């Protein structure tokens, strides 16, 4: 994932077992706070947001998602840019919403990955490219258990196309921001394997190493500018090709780290850095540089491909919706009602995440 981040090797909160359990962190937070009655709900949520997000780690996974959405806007034709550029900050800021929801909303977590190797070596040929056929063949529960990102992106494109048809600015923005997130996740090699954190090959921590530590060290030099958006006549096919490309990269992601570890003194593999005023163990710059050089620009390539695909899918949805005139939406402002709905949505995620009872019941 370009997900929840942590450069901290020892924070393994992105592991599915932890997602399923809801996380000890949550319970601890709740315990600590259970005796404190806070009446100002918004203030409480704000504080808890800081605590929770701060506990999960710093901003690098977030940085990648935000950057991908932001750069995708610059790929759009003027007819779309007139609306998207005006809302570029929203699209960047909300690129991380799906990761915030994944700990709180049932059904969210599986939208971020697919464990292709669960389906054997021929996964890409045996898995039906479309959701209905896939459900018939494997059953929905089984599919969801192993991740549904390639199918969910297709559904998101469909929803975005409908929102474009309806010329609904709020829906277009929400769906575009979310779509950008799932597309970026689908380009992360370790989002396509059940060995998603090297836990099956004694390489625990590699997930954050690839998606957070390497961008932290090297993203400044990435060239993420790609050309204008292109129409995709078959979005489903393009999405599956992207997932296949990410999966093909898994071998090198894992093998190079293993190879390097074998030839590297253990005391030089890791170092300690300060994160949120806490010293945490992470991969040393020396080890990271060697690994990055073996990967030969892979992280940058995958980020570029994400930017390209996000722009292409936004553009394709607009074309398929009949190229609606977005100019009248350009002056759109979130009104009070929409703003409060956004805030309510976020409160709902946090309430579920932190298991807070609504104030009305809290007496």
Contacts to Zn ion by CB under 5 A:
1, 3, 99, 112, 185
Q: At its nearest, how many Å lie between Zn ion and the CB of residue 112?
A: 4
Q: Which is nearer to Zn ion, 185 or 257 (CB)?
A: 185
The smaller minimum CB distance to Zn ion, of residues 75 and 187, is found at 187
Q: How far is the CB of 196 from Zn ion (least distance, A)?
A: 12
Smallest gap from Cβ 57 to Zn ion, in A, equals: 14
What tokens were used for 181? 């997130």
Please identify, using beta-carbon distances, which residue of 3 and 229 lies nearer to Zn ion: 3
Report the nearest approach of Zn ion to the CB of residue 306 (Å).
12
Nearer to Zn ion, 1 or 134 (CB): 1
Cβ closest to Zn ion, residue 110 vs residue 185: 185
Whole-number minimum distance, CB 16 to Zn ion, in Å? 12
Cβ contact 247:192 at 8 Å = yes
Closer residue to Zn ion, CB minimum distance, 108 or 257: 108
CB 358, min distance to Zn ion, A: 27
Cβ of residue 1: shortest distance to Zn ion, in angstroms? 4
Looking up tokens 């002056």 gives 331
Q: Which two tokens stand for residue 56?
A: 């999960």
Beta carbon nearer to Zn ion, 148 or 329:
148
């Amino acid at each position: 994932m370009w997900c929840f981040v942590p450069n901290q090797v020892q924070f393994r909160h992105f592991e599915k077992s932890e997602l399923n359990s809801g996380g000890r962190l949550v319970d601890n937070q709740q315990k600590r706070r259970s005796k404190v009655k806070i009446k100002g709900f918004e203030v409480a949520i704000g504080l808890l947001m800081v605590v929770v997000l701060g506990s999960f780690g710093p901003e690098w996974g977030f940085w990648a998602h935000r950057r991908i959405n932001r750069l995708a806007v610059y790929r759009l034709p003027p007819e779309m840019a007139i609306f998207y550029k005006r809302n570029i900050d929203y699209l960047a800021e909300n690129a991380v919403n799906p990761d915030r929801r994944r700990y709180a909303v049932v059904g969210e977590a599986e939208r971020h990955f697919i464990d292709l190797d669960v389906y054997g070596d021929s996964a890409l040929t045996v898995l039906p490219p479309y959701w209905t056929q896939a459900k018939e063949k494997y059953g929905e529960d089984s599919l969801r258990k192993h991740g549904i990102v390639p199918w969910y992106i297709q559904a998101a494109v469909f929803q975005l196309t409908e929102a474009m048809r309806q010329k609904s600015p709020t829906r277009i923005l929400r769906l575009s921001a979310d779509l950008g997130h799932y597309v970026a996740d689908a380009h992360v090699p370790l989002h396509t394997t059940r060995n998603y954190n090297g836990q099956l090959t004694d390489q625990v921590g590699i997930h954050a190493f690839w998606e957070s530590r390497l961008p932290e060290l090297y993203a400044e030099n990435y060239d993420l500018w790609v050309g204008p958006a292109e129409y995709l006549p078959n979005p489903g096919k393009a999405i599956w090709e992207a997932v296949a490309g990410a999966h093909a990269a898994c071998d090198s992601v894992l093998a190079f780290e293993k190879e390097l570890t074998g030839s590297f003194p253990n005391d030089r593999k890791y170092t300690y850095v300060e994160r949120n005023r806490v010293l945490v163990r992470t991969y040393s710059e020396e080890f990271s540089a060697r690994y990055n050089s073996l990967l030969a620009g892979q992280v940058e390539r995958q980020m570029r491909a994400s930017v390209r695909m996000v722009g292409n899918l936004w553009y394709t949805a607009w074309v398929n919706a009949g190229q609606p005139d977005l100019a009248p939406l350009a002056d759109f402002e979130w009104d009070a009602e929409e703003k409060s709905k956004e805030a309510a949505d976020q409160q709902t995620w946090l309430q579920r995440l932190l298991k807070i009872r609504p104030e009305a019941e809290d007496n």
